[in-house]
Structure 1
């Protein structure tokens, strides 16, 4: 997923910050949410990390839905305090 990271010193304390960029949903995600993470194509990762801002703007587009899969998961996945691999197990 595409993101932005920064480190700043505030009142003598080092603060790291990170954000995941989002875009409009592709056809797989549109019924699930009104946005999705920006997922640059694998062959564009170097350009994302080292390219110019102009190059990166072209990558902020919905990822190809044919390269993705989705399945229903339990409601516990929506709570950031829950941290286990069972959260991504499919449910009926």
Structure 2
């Protein structure tokens, strides 16, 4: 997944942070959300992590190195998935038809 962060974090309060780069939801997720995390191929992720990557290069990596929505398996899940307090493998189980 593509993210942006900075180390060492210089806020002075020892809080760490990052942001997740998103793209428009095209398939699979579009019915519940208009954005999706940008997932990169391993090769693109290595390029993304370079310390000297420019903004233009990052945009190109995001465009050319993104994993297609067709490469994911989509299935309905329970509403419990939407609450970050819920954890566990049962959240990944597809709903029975």
Instruction: Determine if the alignment matches structure 1 residue 17 to structure 2 residue 17.
Output: yes
In structure 2, relative to structure 1, the CA distance for the partners of 1:22 and 1:34 (3 Å cut) is same
Q: Give the structure-1-normalised TM-score.
A: 0.82
**1 or 2, which has the higher strand percentage?**
1
Instruction: Determine if the alignment matches structure 1 residue 63 to structure 2 residue 67.
Output: yes
Task: Write out per-residue CA displacement over residues 24-74 of structure 1, whole angstroms, 9 at most, x where no aligned residue.
Answer: 113333233211111122221111000322111123346312211111111
Aligned partner of 2:56 in structure 1 is 54
Which residues of structure 1 form unaligned runs of 5+? Answer: none
Number of equivalences:
90
Query: Partners in 2 of 1:30 and 1:17 — Cα distance?
Result: 27
